[in-house]
């Protein structure tokens, strides 16, 4: 259990690092990448959540050899967080792509992509 707590701490530190980058970076491109660091940390959190019950993929191979319920739950990973995070990964990817498209468009105004040069557009 101690290793899980340690990993959880590391993951939350990664999320914090992403958020700090998002706050402190002046460059828009790096801001968007920091957001992705944060997103990846959340993905890791959900994978860790799924691994609390075991590491084996929760996939049955062949219906004939269904093990007893007790064996089944023994070392299988929890499929629910994994399914959830799969959706979140897809959403994160599409948002990342959309943001980067807009960032490339904004690079025409200021190629150095400094945040302060866009705040004054009004």
Partner 1 sequence: MLTTTLLTVWLLLPYLAGFVAALLPSLARALVLFLCLITAVVGCSALMAADQAGVALTLLGPTGVTLQVDALAGWFVLLDAVLIAGVLLACWDRLADTSMPLLLLVLQGGLNTAFAATDLVSIYVTLEVVAISAFLLILRERSERCLWVALRYLLVSNTAMTLYLIGAGLVYAQSGSFGLQALAQLPLGAAQAFVLVGLFTKAGVFVSGLWLPRTHAQAPAEVSALLSGVVVTAGVVPLLRIGQLDPRLLVCIQVVALAGALLGVLAAQQTADVKRLLAWSTLSQMGLVLLAPVAAGAMAFSHGLAKATLFLLAGRLPSRQLQGWQERPLPLDLQLGVTLASLSIAGVPPLLGFAAKKGLLAALSAPWAAGVVLVSLGTVMVYARLWGAPVSQNSSAEPLLNPPLRRSVTGLVLVLLLAGIWQLQSTLSWGALLSTALLLAAGVALQRLLQRFRAAALQLPALGEQLQDLLGNLALVGSGLLLAFRLGFS
- The binder of partner 1 chosen from 1, 2, 3, 23 (CB under 8 A): 23
CA R_g for the chain: 20
- The binder of partner 1 chosen from 80, 93, 112, 114 (CB under 8 A): 80
Q: Determine contact, residues 75/54, Cβ cutoff 8 Å.
A: yes
Query: If we measure between CA atoms, which residue out of 6, 26, 27, 25 comes closest to residue 17?
Result: 25
- Is the Cβ of residue 64 or residue 87 nearer to partner 1 in the bound state? 87
Q: Does residue number 30 form part of the binding site for partner 1 (CB under 8 A)?
A: no
Q: CA-CA distance, 13 to 64, in Å (whole number)?
A: 45
The 10 Å Cβ neighbour count of residue 85 is 19
Q: Does residue number 76 form part of the binding site for partner 1 (CB under 8 A)?
A: no
Binding-site ranges for partner 1 (CB under 8 A): 12, 15, 19, 22-23, 28, 31-32, 35, 38-39, 42, 45-46, 49, 52, 80-81, 84, 87-88, 91-92, 94-95, 98-99, 102-103, 105-106, 109, 115, 118-119, 121-122
């Amino acid at each position: 259990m101690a290793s899980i707590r340690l990993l959880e701490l590391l993951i939350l530190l990664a999320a914090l690092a992403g958020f700090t980058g998002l706050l402190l970076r002046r460059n828009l491109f790096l801001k968007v990448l920091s957001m992705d660091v944060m997103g990846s940390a959340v993905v890791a959190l959900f994978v860790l959540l799924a691994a609390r019950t075991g590491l084996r993929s929760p996939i049955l191979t062949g219906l004939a050899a269904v093990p007893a319920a007790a064996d089944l739950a023994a070392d299988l990973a929890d499929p629910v967080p994994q399914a959830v995070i799969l959706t979140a990964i897809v959403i994160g990817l599409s948002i990342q792509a959309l943001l980067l498209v807009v960032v490339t468009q904004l690079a025409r105004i200021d190629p150095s992509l400094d945040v302060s040069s866009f705040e004054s557009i009004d």
